[in-house]
Chain A
Amino acid sequence: NAGVTQTPKFQVLKTGQSMTLQCAQDMNHNSMYWYRQDPGMGLRLIYYSASEGTTDKGEVPNGYNVSRLNKREFSLRLESAAPSQTSVYFCASSEAVVGHQGTEAFFGQGTRLTVV
């Protein structure tokens, strides 16, 4: 019953370093998402992939890139980390695009990233 698995769980980066956050789901879901959570801001969508082979920008895409490697995996890359990217990052997946009745998104446990 793994669901959505994110690695790593914690990471500290220096300004300017790069890293990739990994996400994998074992529910055969078509859609995958990356969100960031900041105090007082709720969860904000960074990028999403409605289906394998497609990716689209969300609300806050600047400074990030994504790759939908296959149906299971959706990675988020920070090319040059900045302190403003200090946040908790959540990956999620859903069977179909969210909004169809009965479809909800399932979330991973999060990656806590600190950029110093």
Chain B
Amino acid sequence: DQQVKQNSPSLSVQEGRISILNCDYTNSMFDYFLWYKKYPAEGPTFLISISSIKDKNEDGRFTVFLNKSAKHLSLHIVPSQPGDSAVYFCAASARAGGTSYGKLTFGQGTILTVHP
């Protein structure tokens, strides 16, 4: 049972345009969401997070949007740069109670390619 889903295995965008990566979740106990970026042969690195008390969090070129009613979040990268080419993982956790407390549950990942 995949509790966090990234339905697009890959995304290709032109440099300077917007990249939108999507993530859906099914567990209503999830209330903290993170995005990680991973380059080949490296470990994932933290990018940005959002708590369920917010619907938007922005950090420079990266913005995460959360739609709790739809159990959907998205990561926007504007403008996209070739160095953004990597695998992006969505992850979720529950802050209190339940079997998801204290653990990160990851999606399958989306490969982003930004063309010059």
Contacts and interface: CB of A to CB of B under 8 A. Distances in A.
Interface in A26-55: 31, 33, 35, 40-45, 48, 50
Contact of B89 (A43, A45, A59, A109): A43
A58 B46 contact: no
B103 A100 contact: no
Nearest to B50: A101
Contacts, number: 72
A50 B102 contact: yes
Interface string B11-29: 0000000000000000000
Interface in B71-110: 89, 91, 93-96, 101-109
Interface residues of B, number: 30
Interface in A49-78: 50, 58-59
A41 B6 CA distance: 10
A25 to B, nearest CB: 12
A36 to B, nearest CB: 11
Interface in A1-28: 4
Nearest to A38: B108
A40 B36 CA distance: 16
B103 A109 contact: no
B70 interface: no
Given A99-B95, A104-B46, A42 B103 contact: no
A90 B44 contact: yes
A108 B43 contact: yes
Interface of B: 4, 6, 9, 31-32, 34, 36, 41-46, 49, 51, 89, 91, 93-96, 101-109
10 contacts: A33-B103, A40-B9, A43-B89, A90-B44, A98-B32, A99-B93, A99-B95, A99-B102, A109-B42, A109-B43
